[in-house]
A = this chain, B = another copy of it.
Amino acid sequence: MFQQRAFRVKQISDLTGVSIRTLHHYDEIGLLQPGRMNDAGYRLYSQDDLARLQEILFFRELDFSLAEIRGIIESPGYNRVEALTDQKQLLAAKVTRLKKIIKTIDKTMDNDKRGVDMSNEDLFGGLVDEETQAEYAREAKERWGETDAYKESARKTAKYTRADWERINAEGGDIYSKIADLVKAGVTPEEASVQIQIQKWRDHITANFYNCTIDICQGLGEMYLADVRFKTNIDKVCPGLTEFLSKAIAFYVDNAEA
């Protein structure tokens, strides 16, 4: 018989840079439980456990919470290669963001030297979250490939200023809030009051990003639900909003087709 190589906590710690306490913690919360234990109760990690830890660390680098990470890698539809592709995409976005911050620093130093004041928006270039929008856009690119919708969106959004983003975000948030209010009021996704907001939502996307066809509506409705990042962001407005929104969009699509 052949015995698979097993690592103990210190070895894992040395190899990966995570603390032993962190390994204990990940075991406790069920994020990374070692394949087996020896008689003394020592944790023995397998090669597969190591691979899983690697994935966890990639997600952590992207500021996913441990609960999110666990949710993702344990979901039935989880695909390692796809996840790696996503992670790469998001890391690239982070690099872009950091580079933008570096530029902001350069500008700040320059203007400091010359005694000029910067606009208050420029002072925080790269620090505000507007980039998450762009992140999501890239995400979309990955899922849709180079579709016409994506190209149109990229062309439009490229010219947007921070003020534009603020306005767009505010408008979008406004629509979500209104739907959230309807949720709280106890109406169903099929009701006209909701469907009117879905129409507004679609118009908003068409006006600011790309021509939001019925097919794309359907895709978005599904994606919002399937993708944790969309989901958590939407659920911030009101828990359960994503599910509701998805159902409402599905109904909207069905009726538009009929």
Contacts and interface: CB of A to CB of B under 8 A. Distances in A.
Interface stretch (A120-128, A147-155, A179-187): A120-128
The majority secondary structure among interface residues of chain A is helix
A1 interface: no
A172 to B, nearest CB: 15
A58 B91 CA distance: 19
A208 interface: no
Interface of A: 14-17, 47, 50-51, 54, 57-58, 61, 80-81, 84-85, 87-88, 91-92, 94-95, 98-99, 101-102, 105-106, 108-109, 112-113, 117, 120-121, 123-124, 127-129, 166
Nearest to A92: B102
A230 to B, nearest CB: 19
Given A17-B127, A50-B123, A88-B106, 13 more contacts: A15-B121, A15-B124, A54-B108, A54-B127, A57-B124, A58-B101, A80-B112, A81-B113, A84-B105, A84-B108, A88-B102, A91-B101, A91-B105
B81 A112 contact: yes
A81 B88 CA distance: 34
A98 B91 contact: yes
Contacts of A80: 112
A81 B101 contact: no
18 contacts: A15-B120, A15-B124, A16-B124, A16-B127, A16-B128, A17-B128, A57-B127, A61-B98, A61-B101, A61-B127, A81-B113, A84-B109, A85-B109, A91-B101, A91-B102, A94-B98, A95-B99, A95-B102
Nearest to A57: B127
Contacts of A51: 123
A117 B98 CA distance: 32
A133 B85 CA distance: 29
A81 B112 CA distance: 8
Contacts of A57: 124, 127
A53 to B, nearest CB: 8
Instruction: From A54, A87, A129, name the one whose CB has the most chain B CB atoms within 10 angstroms.
Output: A54
A254 B118 CA distance: 48
A163 B168 CA distance: 51
